[in-house]
Amino acid sequence: MSLAAIIFSILTIISSLGVIGCANPLNSALCLVLTLFFVAAHYAMMGAHFVAAIQVLVYAGAIMVLVIFVIMLLGLERDESSSDFKKPRNVLTAAVIGLFIGMLIVAVQSGVAGAPVDGLADASIVNDGGGHAIGQVLFTRYVLPFEITGMLLLAAIIGAVYIAHEQRKPLAEGRGLKAVRNRE
Amino acid sequence: MSTIDIIAAAPLFCMTFGILALLVLDLFRIDALPFPRLWWGVGICGATAFLFWPFLSMNETAFSGMMAVDTFTFAFALMILGGSAVTFMLSDELLEGQRVEPSADLDLLVLFSALGGIMMVAATHMMLLFVGFELLSICVYVLTGSARNQRASSEGALKYFILGAFSSAFLLYGMALVYGATGSMYYSGIAAHIGEPSMMLLIGIGLMIFGFGFKVSLVPFHFWTPDVYQGAPTSMSGFMAVVVKAAAFGAFFRLMASGFGSVSASWSAMVAVLAVLSMTIGNVIALRQTSVKRMLAYSSIAHAGYAMVGFLALGEGGGAAVVFYMLVYSLMTLAAFGVVLVVSSGTEAQYDQDSIESLQGLGWTHPLLGIAMTVAMLSLAGVPPLGGFIGKFYLFSAAVRAGYTSIAVVAALNSVISLYYYLRVVVVMYFSGERQLSWEPPRVLVFGPRLALILLTTGTLYMGIFSSRYYETAQIAVRSLMQL
Amino acid sequence: MEKTLLLVPLFPLVGALLTYVISGKDERHHRMAGWIATFAAVGSFILTFQLWRALSAVEGSVITAHAWTWFEVLPFKVEFAFLFDRLAAVMTLIITGVGSLIHLYAIGYMSHDPERPRFFAYLNLFLFAMLLLVLGDNLLVMFVGWEGVGLCSYLLIGFWHRDMGNAVAGQKAFVVNRIGDAGFLLGMFLLVMMTGSLEFQQLSQQIPYVDPMMIELAAILLFIGAVGKSAQIPLYVWLPDAMAGPTPVSALIHAATMVTAGVYMMARMQVLYSFAPAALSVVLIVGTLTAFVAATIAIVQNDIKKVLAYSTVSQLGYMFMAMGSAAFSNGIFHVVTHAFFKACLFMGAGSVIHGCHHEQDMRKFGGLWRKMPLTFVTYLISTLAIAGFPFTSGFFSKDAILWTVFNVAEDAPAMNHTVVVFGDIPLNLFCWGVGVLTALMTAFYMTRSLMMTFFGKYRGHHEPHESPMVMTIPLMILAALAAGFGFVYGEAFMEYLVGWTRIDMQVGHHALAEHNEVYHTLELFSMGVAILGIVIGVLCYSVCSGIPKALVKHAKGLHNFLVNKWWVDEFYQAVLIRPLSGFSTFLFKSIDRVLIDGILVNGSGMFVEAGGDVLRRLQSGRTSSYAFLMFVSLFLLILLYLVFMPVPI
Amino acid sequence: MEHLFNLTASGDVVLSLLVFLPLFGAITLFLLPEDNDSLARSVAMFFAGAAFLVSLTLLKLFEVGTPRMQFVEMMDWIPSLGVKYILGVDGLSIWLLILTTLLSLLVIFASTSIAQRLRSYLGCLLLLETGMLGSFVALDGITFYMFYELMLIPMYFLIGVWGGKRKIYAALKFFIYTALGSLLMLVAIVYLGLSHEQQFGELSFYLGDWVNLRFGAKEELLLFAAFALAFSIKIPLFPLHTWLPDAHVEAPTGGSVILAGVLLKLGIYGLIRFAMPIFPGAIEALAPVFVVLGVAGIVYGALVAWVQTDIKKLVAYSSVSHLGFCVLGLAALNMQGMQGSVLQMINHGISTGALFFLVGVLYDRKHTRLIADYGGLAQKVPMFAFVFMVFTLSSVGLPLTNGFVGEFLILLGGFQYNPVAGAVAVTGVVLGALYMLSLYRRVIFGSFNEERNGDLTDLNPREKLVFAPLLVLVFLIGVYPQPFLNRIEPSTRAVLEYVNQRNAVAPSVVAENPALRRTSVPQGPESRLEVVEN
Amino acid sequence: MGAVTGYLYLSALLFSLGVLGVLVGRNTIVILMCVELMLNAVNIAFEALSVHFQTLDGQIAVFFVMSVAAAEVAVGLAIVITLFRNYLSVETHDAVTLRG
């Protein structure tokens, strides 16, 4: 790994520690934004510029804005929920996760396969990192997952709206086709 | 778009069109629908199921290898669509009782999750699997929280969401590790490149088992099930217990069989442990439950344990046993949840009345409900003439054929333990004299639930006696899946 | 000929059914019942008499009749068949003869009992069962009769079932008999194993080839059955209590017929016993002891029926002494004579009780010879007979037994009476001595009962009256038989029987004894003993009536011991009944309730539920703890199977 | 011997008709209007009567003297798993069928005391009858198991809905106790079916195919243990009997008559039909265990019955003792014992069934089962006393009653097998007299308590009609049992010869552990009998 | 060659930190963010593998993961709002009515 990558990795880890460590949800949200930027930097370094752009645009931009908006909406920026690390359970959790990391590292060292199998294995496409190649693959091979993801987003919207919006009418004469039918 | 893609796409188009049509109609509040909204949902499910029929005889993959068009997908699609249709029927006009504001959005979400479920089962590519998995999960999180102003429902939704997201992240990480270890996202690609199972692969498989284990509610990952089933409105917990679990089992089986089939020696030990734990702990805790929904939740955990036994005997007909068992399991559990739904969806006093005492004397006052519940309970317990017994019988024979006789004995003993709490329900309904509770479940049943209960009960009985035809289709399904 | 043989048991059966059918109707039918039953008994007596007459004409003097094959599990087959030979003839004549007389007597005795038909039905049923026992062609048909009579004695003893005491006595009789029957069953099984069949002809052919040890065992087991049925030590306790039944019952069942079944069985199985010397010694000892013990108890009894009951036990002891010394014909001779005088005594006692309005305590009698002359005379004759007064039938049969016991040692090769008791006295001499002593005591207590009942002044407060003719006729007939039979037909009877039993040839044959001077001295000696007993009895209870009271005062302990029947009942209660019921309650309470039900069944249920409670608490409801538990278990699972699975790192 | 089991479908349908007739009855009952009791009873009577008549014609057509299966029906049920629907009747099951149909008919006829929900009560009885008949004729492992479990549900409802005070506990205990045994048997059945696939290629659950299977010693013992456990719970064999008293005490009269009359026999029948031919080595090796438990059951049942205060509990424990006899007969592995055992099953069905009817008569009038509440009934109800006397004698095994023949053969067989066991078993006969007569005395004799039992009425014509056939049977079997034995003999002989022949050829289990060798009397009894024969 | 393993180490580390955050976190929104963190860790792994294998599958996977993450957050926050409306707090340890 190049030196820059290592530096950015350390920065990413520090900022993610910040996300966990901060008592105030607002601070941790900001730390998360920082982490996302560092991750986008990693993508860029790896040559996937388009992905890095999307990362910054979608993740940092849209999702985090929404999160911070909700934090402000619920007025949580003031309360200091202390996720103190001293509690015995948390220490145990940290220990288990340490072991977990060790296990993952040992696993990752060996297992990575050599040659790619069925992907579009030519360096040019990857390197130019442009949207063109991704778009081309996305709408030929991955068309079904793409459509389903569309469905997914639509469902998420309907669900979020249904569940979060203020209750407009008292239960009895709720709008909707059935209620109307009853009225005749 | 080769012909196979068209055949594969037809049902999906039909379903999507139905959903969007419903959305638009509801959006503009045009009551063009001559019949209540729920029958629209049933209509869509019916049409899609009809379009799935050509899958029965085929055995290829469509959408450039992403989606499998074979009997296995057909079988599970039928189950998922059937389950959704029955959920629609069951919740007809009973939603008020569940403190749920009746609106088209719910039906949409149910249909979306059904679509997601089918995609999961049909997926032969990890990405499609993941996206289907998420579509199903997202919709069900919302459905759980659909009784917005009830604390239990929102708490259930919260728990389900956090733990669901947590486990899907693990699933995803598992996929990444497997992708790293094998170099391909296609099940066939994975199977081809597995070779000597490296530690990274095994951990990947382990994490994916965690993700699916959570969805199927196997024991170490089952903690959410009782709370969510109790919190969610009964029709939704019924939907989750049946459709979601069936879809998760379908995808899990396809992944394990065609993806990691060749290294089954390595992960079968883990599956065996999960199976035994689920059976035993599921049954043992269920003994002490007073709430019917929580009891049914633990019973579904136990039954997930029984179904996992099928995974141990991939070669020797275990798969067919799992497919058949899921079919029978869906019939029994939906019937049970249906009865609880009807009983607890009366006046204000009833809403959180899901205690076993609420069923008191039901056998005599409401013969249909009584019989449906008794058949469901006895079938879940595995008493012979009913479907539950035949399902268990297939599972036992597969396990014994694969040499896991000791697990078959454990399963037999667990059935005995389960007898106790299933029979307690029958005791409350028939043996403990007249009804002391003030309220009565609705005397004359609305057409929807009545039809659904009759269908489910006769289905359970039918499966008990004439099960061979369905078992053969299940065998064909699994055979096609293995060579894929 | 076979037809009549089949009819003999059938008559009483039909009689029983008829009387029972009309039991529910009005008063007129009740009287009829008695006569129907008696006609049935007399009818079967006549048939038997005909058969007996025809018997001598038949070659080999055996008539057999085969009804049907009862059941067969090849190679073992059981037929429902009857055998009529000399022995059976004798017994059947006694049963039907004495039976008819007792039926006649019962009509009078039970004249004002509301449930007469039921009584007579049971009596007839008893006759049917007894005839089955005696006429049976194989041990199993005999066993049917054996248990049948046990049942009838149970029904008859508990006839007046309003009073729970009678019912308990009836049940005690049946259960004790059943203990004997268990031994009988085991004997039969052993015989089936050894010889493959139970028919008497088959057995007598097979037995010589069977291993001697098995023969001894079979003999002992069958003897246990006899002990149960014929009330020998240790299973005699039911007979005294059986006096709770009406007196005709005691007369018929507990004197003449049923109790002698054991003796008949040994006679019938004499082939087996002749090959089992050790068994015979046991029989001899048991017989002697029973005779002695019963006699001692009879002395102190005050209830007239109890006296006669213990006297029956004692006389049965005598019969088994005869059997024990392989003198089967002598035993049967004593059975016959005993049937006569004991039935007469019981009926006499019955008519006394009937006269004194159901009073049974001898201390309430006295001076009845004037009021009931006929009963007195017949009672006197029978007492003399039982006491062994010279030239009465009792004397002849008892003397014969004492004689065979005395000199059995020399000329009975089959008998190995080398068993020595008390220093060097050979067993049989010891038994003879005890036998003589018992004869003395018998004479004494019978005379005592005679004196207390018929002499002195009347101590009761009822107005005694003589019994009607229907009761006194049987008394007179039997008294005559008791007096004369021995003298007139003694010789002919022995000839008749000995002709039947080939074995008796070698053992103490009566005729031989004629020229043997030792026999004559013995005869005189036993006459003396009998007369001495009678004289003492007369003296004690007439002239110097102070002696018994003085004796009672001095030998307080001994008297008390005897009055309480050697504490045998209490002994059984303490050693057998109470511990058994204690053990069963223990079994039920602790094993059934606590061990199997409590611990195993409910216990496992509770264990599983406790497990459920523990695991339930794990479900704390907090999401973060769920996530924590899930993650930790995942980690452990992966660790677990990574460690076990040999995976190249 | 193999010829016995390779069947050809004989084309007639009488067995299916017999088995499913009550089922049709139950279904038509449920379609009837709810409240019309007399209609319900007449319909139930019609179907039960029809079933009885069919069983009688079956008896008439039954060919005596041949061990082979008759009226065989063969049909595929679950082809993929080789599960076939095979019915057949032979000497072992013909009398049990008739006993079932007779007792069911009598129970339905005598169901006057059931006040509420008579329709469902009769429906449960008919369903129960189907289950019982099916179990007795089924020859395929799964079909047998299906009917075996089908019986549990109606019996569970009979006890649970119409039972006494602790009915729920008793019903649950009954169901779970039996289900535990039967589920282990299910695993064994599955294992057998699969091992047939390994050894002979195709999966089969038919008894005839299983007979050719060969197992290792430990494997055979384990499988036999699974079957033996299920059937021992059903019998009930000594340590596993605690469900019986509770089930009997709480069950309604009809329920306990059927439970005692027929359900208990399935245990013994199952052992003879399934366990013996398939695991001859194991049955030979474990015969001593069964003898010991059987004899223990006899003595234990008798003693505990003696100290009971509740009549039904007393009769229930007497059943434990009686069936201890049957087990002893079975385990003696000789002709006398086996035939005695099969005959004793029928006798026990008649005598104990009648005894429960009698208790029912008292319970319906006075609603109490405690012995102390009765006394001196002879004066008030003489007819009842007479009938009670006859069945007490039959239960005690008095000669000329049905009890004696069976008991005699069993004790003879037991004695030949092991004299000590025979001797202890004979004490059972004595104890039997003890507790039955003490029951009879305390209930019937003694002083009559007018003010408490004054209103007792004697047997009404309906009850007399119920007892009449049973009385006739008691004396018929007692006096002339040969026709019954003729039909039982060929089948038991076939099974016994097959077991001995298999053990002679490949004494698999017995050879390995000689300790389990059968104890034999000094001279081998069989040899002795042969000497006599020729 | 070391690049991919390096990034995999990084993703493993980030993933574990995310898990730690979820297990320790008390505020629902913080847990939500930690889940996002875990998903990002996986994205890094996918991207690294895509580069290593020289194929685009990994990158497309990242796209799908991102869209799923977005949908998840949307629904998650909606649930948090209803939770807030019913429990007036977003602490997970408050919502414990369902248990046993």
For residues A42-65, give the mean pLDDT. 88
Q: Which residues of B touch E89 (CB under 8 A)?
A: none
Cα three-residue angle D424-D430-D433, rounded to 5 degrees? 145
Q: pLDDT value at position D299?
A: 92
Tokens at residue D61, please? 């057509």
Nearest to D187 among B412, B431, B467 (CB): B412
Q: How far apart (Å, rounded) are the C-alpha atoms in residues B210 and B200? A: 15
Q: Name which of B268-272, C547-551, D369-373 the model is least confident about.
A: C547-551
Rg (CA), chain D: 23
Question: Which chain C residue lies closest to B157 (C-alpha atoms)?
Answer: C623
Q: How far apart (Å, rounded) are the C-alpha atoms in residues C223 and C183? A: 8
Q: pLDDT value at position B112?
A: 94
The structure's pTM equals 0.85
**Confidence label for D349 from pLDDT (cuts 50, 70 and 90):** very high
3-state SS class at C389:
coil
Q: Which of residues 239-298 of B touch E (CB under 8 A)?
A: 289, 294
* Chains interfacing with C (3 or more CB pairs < 8 Å): A, B, D, E
Q: pLDDT value at position B30?
A: 62
**Confidence label for A180 from pLDDT (cuts 50, 70 and 90):** very low
Strongest mean pLDDT among C25-29, D206-210, D394-398 = D394-398
Q: pLDDT value at position C198?
A: 86
| DSSP percent split of chain B into helix, strand, coil, nearest 5 | 80, 5, 20
Q: Omega of the bond prior to D236 within 30 degrees of 0, cis? A: yes
Calculate the alpha carbon distances from C108 to B43, C105, C350, C474, C627 in Å: 99, 6, 11, 11, 100
If phi > 0 it is left, if psi is from -120 to 50 it is alpha, else beta; for residue B65 that is left
Q: Does the beta carbon of B287 lie under 8 angstroms from any beta carbon of chain D?
A: no
What is the mean pLDDT of each successive set of 10 residues along chain E, which is 100 residues long?
80 92 86 92 91 84 92 92 82 74
> Burial letters for B205-243: b for 16+ Cβ neighbours within 10 Å, e otherwise?
bbbbbbbbbbbbbbbbbbbbbbbbbbbbbbbbbbbbbbb
Q: pLDDT value at position B299?
A: 93
Instruction: Please give the full DSSP string across C211-268, using - where no structure is assigned.
Output: -HHHHHHHHHHHHHHHHHHTT-TTS-THHHHGGGS-HHHHHIIIIISGGGHHHHHHHH
Q: Which residues of E touch B145 (CB under 8 A)?
A: 79, 82
Residue C410 has pLDDT above 50, yes or no: no
Q: Name which of B442-456, C67-81, C615-629 the model is least confident about.
A: B442-456
C240 CB burial (10 A radius; 0-12, 13-18, 19+): buried
Question: In Å, how far is B31's CA from the nearest CA of chain A?
Answer: 6
CA C602 to chain centre: 49
Q: Which residues of E touch B289 (CB under 8 A)?
A: 100
Q: Does the beta carbon of C628 lie under 8 angstroms from any beta carbon of chain A?
A: yes
Q: pLDDT tens for residues D168-180?
A: 888 888 888 888 8
Contact C178 D308 (CB under 8 A): no
The answer to whether D171 and D250 have CB atoms below 8 angstroms apart is: yes
CA D437 to chain centre: 24
Contact B128 A145 (CB under 8 A): yes
Q: Does the beta carbon of B184 lie under 8 angstroms from any beta carbon of chain A?
A: yes
Contact C637 B220 (CB under 8 A): yes
Calculate the alpha carbon distances from B309 to A67, B398, C147, D194 in Å: 43, 8, 62, 17
Question: Which chain B residue lies closest to A162 (C-alpha atoms)?
Answer: B105
Q: pLDDT value at position C581?
A: 86
Contact B210 C619 (CB under 8 A): no
Q: pLDDT tens for residues C159-187?
A: 888 888 888 899 989 999 999 999 999 99
Domain extent listing, chain B: 3-483
Q: Does the beta carbon of E69 lie under 8 angstroms from any beta carbon of chain B?
A: no
Is A115 part of any domain?
no
The answer to whether C359 and C314 have CB atoms below 8 angstroms apart is: no
Give the residues of chain B that fall short of pLDDT 50: 484
**Where are the strands (E) in C51-134, listed by range?**
63-73, 76-84
D379 CB burial (10 A radius; 0-12, 13-18, 19+): middle
For chain C, give the mean pLDDT: 84
Contact A155 B146 (CB under 8 A): no
Regarding whether A68 and A17 lie in a shared domain, the answer is yes
* Chains interfacing with E (3 or more CB pairs < 8 Å): A, B, C
3-state SS class at E27:
strand
The answer to whether C326 and C412 have CB atoms below 8 angstroms apart is: yes
Contact D187 B420 (CB under 8 A): no
Contact C628 A110 (CB under 8 A): no
Residue A181 has pLDDT above 70, yes or no: no
Q: How far apart (Å, rounded) are the C-alpha atoms in residues A181 and B29? A: 11
Q: How far apart (Å, rounded) are the C-alpha atoms in residues E45 and E59? A: 10
The number of C-beta contacts closer than 8 angstroms across B and D is: 88
Cα three-residue angle D15-D17-D21, rounded to 5 degrees? 130
Q: pLDDT tens for residues D17-51?
A: 999 999 999 999 888 777 788 888 899 999 999 99
Q: Omega of the bond prior to C75 within 30 degrees of 0, cis? A: yes
D327 CB burial (10 A radius; 0-12, 13-18, 19+): buried
The answer to whether C629 and C618 have CB atoms below 8 angstroms apart is: yes
Q: pLDDT value at position C508?
A: 44
DSSP D279: -
Nearest to A144 among B63, B116, B200 (CB): B63
Q: pLDDT tens for residues C15-66?
A: 888 888 876 667 777 778 888 889 999 999 999 888 888 887 777 778 888 8
Question: Which chain A residue lies closest to C625 (C-alpha atoms)?
Answer: A89
For chain A, give the mean pLDDT: 79
Instruction: Give residue C189's identity as a one-letter amino acid code.
Output: F
Residue A142 has pLDDT above 90, yes or no: no
User: Pseudo-torsion of CA B87, B90, B92, B97, nearest 10°?
Assistant: -110
Instruction: Please give the full DSSP string across B370-394, using - where no structure is assigned.
Output: HHHHHHHHHHHHT-TTSHHHHHHHH
Q: pLDDT tens for residues C484-499?
A: 887 887 778 877 777 6
Q: How far apart (Å, rounded) are the C-alpha atoms in residues D34 and D118? A: 9
What domains appear along chain E, each with residue ranges and CATH number?
2-87 (1.10.287.3510)
For residues C315-331, give the mean pLDDT. 86
Calculate the alpha carbon distances from C132 to C139, C146, C183, D480 in Å: 11, 8, 20, 16
Q: pLDDT tens for residues D49-70?
A: 999 999 999 999 888 888 888 8
Q: Does the beta carbon of C586 lie under 8 angstroms from any beta carbon of chain A?
A: no
Question: Which chain C residue lies closest to B416 (C-alpha atoms)?
Answer: C605
ipTM of the complex: 0.82
Instruction: Give residue D420's identity as a one-letter amino acid code.
Output: V
Q: pLDDT value at position C490?
A: 77
Pair type for strands C63-73 and C76-84: antiparallel
Q: Does the beta carbon of E97 lie under 8 angstroms from any beta carbon of chain B?
A: yes
Residue A177 has pLDDT above 70, yes or no: no
Q: How far apart (Å, rounded) are the C-alpha atoms in residues A161 and C521? A: 133
Nearest to A156 among E24, E30, E71 (CB): E71
From the list B241, B324, B398, B392, the residue with the least C-alpha distance to B71 is B324
**Confidence label for C332 from pLDDT (cuts 50, 70 and 90):** confident
Q: pLDDT value at position C506?
A: 42
Strongest mean pLDDT among B152-156, C126-130, D453-457 = C126-130
Question: In Å, how far is C611's CA from the nearest CA of chain A?
Answer: 24
The number of C-beta contacts closer than 8 angstroms across A and E is: 214
D10 CB burial (10 A radius; 0-12, 13-18, 19+): middle
Question: In Å, how far is C649's CA from the nearest CA of chain E?
Answer: 15
Q: pLDDT value at position B341?
A: 85
Question: In Å, how far is D95's CA from the nearest CA of chain B?
Answer: 26
Q: pLDDT value at position C368?
A: 82
Q: pLDDT value at position C640?
A: 82
Pair type for strands B59-62 and B67-70: antiparallel
For residues C545-561, give the mean pLDDT. 81
DSSP B100: -
Contact D399 C144 (CB under 8 A): yes
CA C83 to chain centre: 22
Is C touching B (3+ C-beta pairs, cut-off 8 A)? yes
Nearest to E54 among A63, A66, A116 (CB): A116
Is A123 part of any domain?
no
Q: Which of residues 32-91 of E touch C (CB under 8 A)?
A: none
Give me the helix-helix angle, C373-387 and C393-406, nearest 10°: 10
Q: pLDDT value at position D531?
A: 35
Question: In Å, how far is E37's CA from the nearest CA of chain A?
Answer: 8
The answer to whether C161 and D377 have CB atoms below 8 angstroms apart is: no
Is D touching A (3+ C-beta pairs, cut-off 8 A)? no
Q: Which residues of B touch D123 (CB under 8 A)?
A: none
Calculate the alpha carbon distances from D530 to C72, C74, C207, D338, D524 in Å: 15, 10, 16, 19, 10
Q: Which residues of B touch D149 (CB under 8 A)?
A: 383-385, 389
Contact A159 B109 (CB under 8 A): yes
Contact A143 B63 (CB under 8 A): yes
- For E91, list phi and psi in degrees, rounded to 5: -80, 135
Q: How far apart (Å, rounded) are the C-alpha atoms in residues C388 and B318? A: 96
Specify which residues C564 forms β-bridges with. Answer: none
**Confidence label for C612 from pLDDT (cuts 50, 70 and 90):** confident
Q: Does the beta carbon of E14 lie under 8 angstroms from any beta carbon of chain A?
A: yes
* Chains interfacing with B (3 or more CB pairs < 8 Å): A, C, D, E
Query: What is the residue range of A21's domain?
Result: 1-103
Q: pLDDT value at position B435?
A: 66
Q: Which residues of B touch D193 (CB under 8 A)?
A: 397
**Confidence label for C416 from pLDDT (cuts 50, 70 and 90):** very low
Q: How far apart (Å, rounded) are the C-alpha atoms in residues C362 and C482? A: 23
Contact B37 A177 (CB under 8 A): yes
Contact C151 D393 (CB under 8 A): yes
**Confidence label for C465 from pLDDT (cuts 50, 70 and 90):** confident
Nearest to E76 among B149, B150, B161 (CB): B161
Residues of A with CB under 8 A from a CB of B: 103-104, 106-108, 110-119, 140-145, 147-149, 151-152, 154-156, 158-163, 167, 171, 174-181
